[in-house]
Amino acid sequence: MAQLPKLTCKNEAELNAGFTEKQKETFEKFKDCTSELSCITEREAFSSGFILATRIMVEIMEGLGTVEEI
């Protein structure tokens, strides 16, 4: 996994070497959109995980109340 950023940069440099200026601009826009989409996906995944963990904690806390009554 640590090699992925290095490999990505290498591949990007190879692509850019053969691009025209217009293609480079389009590729930059593509990378920006991909990055933004990745950030949105990461935030949604974190939010979903946090909500799930909160629900689990609530269920546990509710269960503790019934255990204490027994």
Residues 20 and 29: their CA atoms lie apart, in Å, by 14
Asked if 15 and 27 count as a contact pair (C-beta separation under 8 A), the reply is yes
Q: Is pTM, for the whole model, over 0.75?
A: no
Structure tokens of 20?
């025209």
Asked if 50 and 39 count as a contact pair (C-beta separation under 8 A), the reply is no
User: What confidence score (pLDDT) does residue 10 get?
Assistant: 95
Predicted confidence band of residue 66 (pLDDT cuts 50, 70, 90): low
